[in-house]
Amino acid sequence: MSAYDRVPYLVVFPDTSPHRDTYGGPGGIVALESYLLRPPTPSDTVLIFMHPIGGGAYLPMVTALARAGHHVIYCGSRYRGVDSALIMENVVEDLGACVRDAHDRLGYVRIVLAGWSGGGALSLYYQQQANAGTGIPADAMLLLAAHVSRHGTLTEWLDASIRDETNPDDRDPALDLYGDTVTPPYSDEFLATYRAAQIARNRRITAWVHDQLRTHDERAFVVHGTMADPRWLDPAVDPNDRVPGRCYLGDPRVVNNGPVGLARFTTLRSWLSQWSYDEARGDGVRCAADVGVPTLVIGNSADDACTPSHTRRLYDAVGHPDKTLHTVPGATHYYAGPDQKPHLAEAVGTVNGWLAERGLS
């Protein structure tokens, strides 16, 4: 007998969005590709994963939790794999549809939201809205290698040296991490100047977006230079056990201008909903104050995507008194590779024990 059955299914519901922002398929409906990982032992509790764009149904953490005996759902959002027109409020609606289906159709009584990576802020945003009466609130929250938000992460990764969005070669040499003038280690004064310039650049883009929306219903644009965070080059910035000069997508110098960087291709409305430092609402830190349920926060000490300050900020922000923080020494973001198996086992064991203590096994 296998450790669990993998059952593919669809969550289908009417599309109420006023704008068509996904390609293909019939209009008027949303169909979310989902998987139920179901162990042989029945349970009235299910762990639900969703990432704004990620397809993580086969990730080590997801499958390891199912092998440990937990019923697990991984539900893809309507923006699976493509975030260029993503609206975070639509993703919250998607997660709500998955939770409602798990409760009403599949019969799970207790819901644990498992917010992995970018799914952490999404889960917190959903829970905040559900507490306000727009959905079924979760009974507990897992924040696993989670970022504070998509807009916060992007802003911390923006190349602060770019002065002209239409000409990304126009750079301030005093802020160019990949030029010849600035080299690590970085002083506190430089870091403060750099972080302020990153926020200012995000705000300039936001102002341009509002200006465009005065004359355009929507349009697409490119954001250059989105992987220039000092922490990837200076291990003393937000220190952990990551490899200096690398990020989870590879060489940050290459990723900074490559096709897979955050927000590389976006639209006006998506920028405001997903990437704007001041206007995006899917902010994990702000939403965590309203979480209202026990929360486990797990960070990985060798993570090269989500660094310790994100983990700590989320933990500190959780408003419920029953909150736990655990860091897995040596663990990377994905727990990928044979050498990560012990770290994955520690993370899963931590989840097992925490859920059991609260009667959620």
In the chain, domain spans: 5-149+282-357, 152-275
The pLDDT of 242-268, averaged and rounded, is 95
Strand partners, 48: 73, 113
CATH topology for 5-149+282-357?
Rossmann fold (3.40.50)
Confidence tier at 27 by pLDDT (50, 70, 90)? confident
pLDDT tens per residue, range 50-66: 999 988 999 999 999 99
Specify the pLDDT at position 20. 83
Specify the pLDDT at position 157. 98
Max CA pair span of the chain:
62
Helix (H, G, I), strand (E, B) or coil at 337: coil
Q: What are the CA-CA distances from residue 337 to residues 3, 64, 188, 246 (Å)?
A: 21, 14, 36, 17
pLDDT tens per residue, range 8-23: 999 999 998 888 888 8
The pLDDT of 311-319, averaged and rounded, is 98
Please, which residues have CB within 8 angstroms of residue 226's CB and are 6 or more apart in sequence? 154, 157, 158, 159, 256, 261, 262, 263, 264
Beta pairing, strands 220-222 & 265-267: antiparallel
The pLDDT of 125-133, averaged and rounded, is 97
As a whole-number percent, the residues of the chain with pLDDT over 90 amount to 94
